[in-house]
Amino acid sequence: MSIDAIRQYIRVEILDDETVSIEADEDLMMNQVLDSMDVMRLVTHLEQSCGFKIPPQDVTLEHFSTLRRIDSYVTARRNGDQLV
Protein backbone atom coordinates (compact mmCIF):
# COMPACT_ATOMS: atom_id res chain seq x y z
CA MET A 1 0.00 0.00 0.00
CA SER A 2 1.44 3.35 -1.02
CA ILE A 3 1.15 6.78 0.52
CA ASP A 4 -1.17 7.74 -2.34
CA ALA A 5 -3.41 4.72 -1.71
CA ILE A 6 -3.63 5.52 2.01
CA ARG A 7 -4.32 9.18 1.22
CA GLN A 8 -7.06 8.22 -1.23
CA TYR A 9 -8.72 5.85 1.26
CA ILE A 10 -8.77 8.59 3.90
CA ARG A 11 -10.17 11.13 1.44
CA VAL A 12 -12.89 8.92 -0.01
CA GLU A 13 -13.90 6.53 2.75
CA ILE A 14 -13.26 8.50 5.93
CA LEU A 15 -13.55 12.18 5.01
CA ASP A 16 -15.92 11.75 2.04
CA ASP A 17 -14.06 14.56 0.28
CA GLU A 18 -11.64 13.75 -2.54
CA THR A 19 -10.44 17.35 -2.73
CA VAL A 20 -8.86 17.47 0.74
CA SER A 21 -5.11 18.05 0.60
CA ILE A 22 -3.15 15.73 2.90
CA GLU A 23 0.63 16.03 2.87
CA ALA A 24 2.79 12.95 3.48
CA ASP A 25 4.26 14.42 6.69
CA GLU A 26 1.15 16.22 7.94
CA ASP A 27 0.17 15.19 11.47
CA LEU A 28 -3.23 13.61 10.92
CA MET A 29 -4.36 13.83 14.54
CA MET A 30 -2.95 17.24 15.49
CA ASN A 31 -4.43 18.80 12.36
CA GLN A 32 -7.76 17.07 13.03
CA VAL A 33 -7.76 15.16 9.77
CA LEU A 34 -8.48 11.96 11.70
CA ASP A 35 -9.88 11.20 15.13
CA SER A 36 -9.40 7.98 17.09
CA MET A 37 -12.41 6.27 15.48
CA ASP A 38 -11.10 7.19 12.02
CA VAL A 39 -7.74 5.64 12.90
CA MET A 40 -9.50 2.41 13.85
CA ARG A 41 -11.34 2.41 10.51
CA LEU A 42 -8.01 2.90 8.77
CA VAL A 43 -6.41 0.08 10.78
CA THR A 44 -9.26 -2.27 9.79
CA HIS A 45 -8.83 -1.29 6.14
CA LEU A 46 -5.08 -1.87 6.28
CA GLU A 47 -5.57 -5.28 7.88
CA GLN A 48 -8.03 -6.31 5.18
CA SER A 49 -5.98 -4.86 2.32
CA CYS A 50 -2.58 -6.07 3.46
CA GLY A 51 -3.56 -9.43 4.90
CA PHE A 52 -2.08 -9.11 8.39
CA LYS A 53 -3.36 -8.17 11.82
CA ILE A 54 -2.19 -4.95 13.43
CA PRO A 55 -1.82 -5.52 17.17
CA PRO A 56 -3.31 -2.83 19.43
CA GLN A 57 0.13 -1.98 20.85
CA ASP A 58 1.25 -0.98 17.34
CA VAL A 59 -1.51 1.61 16.92
CA THR A 60 0.55 4.52 18.20
CA LEU A 61 1.40 8.03 17.07
CA GLU A 62 4.84 6.70 16.22
CA HIS A 63 3.31 4.46 13.55
CA PHE A 64 0.08 6.25 12.60
CA SER A 65 0.54 10.03 12.92
CA THR A 66 1.38 10.75 9.26
CA LEU A 67 0.87 9.10 5.88
CA ARG A 68 4.61 8.52 5.62
CA ARG A 69 4.73 6.79 9.02
CA ILE A 70 1.73 4.62 8.15
CA ASP A 71 3.40 3.63 4.88
CA SER A 72 6.67 2.85 6.69
CA TYR A 73 4.82 0.73 9.24
CA VAL A 74 2.98 -1.25 6.56
CA THR A 75 6.19 -1.74 4.56
CA ALA A 76 8.06 -2.95 7.64
CA ARG A 77 5.29 -5.40 8.52
CA ARG A 78 5.18 -6.75 4.96
CA ASN A 79 8.94 -7.23 4.97
CA GLY A 80 8.88 -8.91 8.37
CA ASP A 81 11.11 -6.22 9.85
CA GLN A 82 11.36 -5.88 13.61
CA LEU A 83 9.43 -2.82 14.78
CA VAL A 84 10.84 -0.53 17.44
One pLDDT digit (tens) per residue for the chain, 84 residues: 899 999 999 999 999 999 999 999 999 999 999 999 999 999 999 999 999 999 999 999 999 999 999 999 999 998 887 666
Could you tell me if residue 47 is inside a domain?
yes
CATH number of the domain residue 21 falls in: 1.10.1200.10
CA angle 59, 63, 68 (to 5 degrees): 140
**How many domains would you assign to the chain?**
1
Q: Per the domain annotation, does 84 fall within a domain?
A: no
Does residue 57 sit within a domain? yes
Q: What is the model's pTM?
A: 0.91
What is the helix (H) or strand (E) element at residue 60, kind and residue range?
none
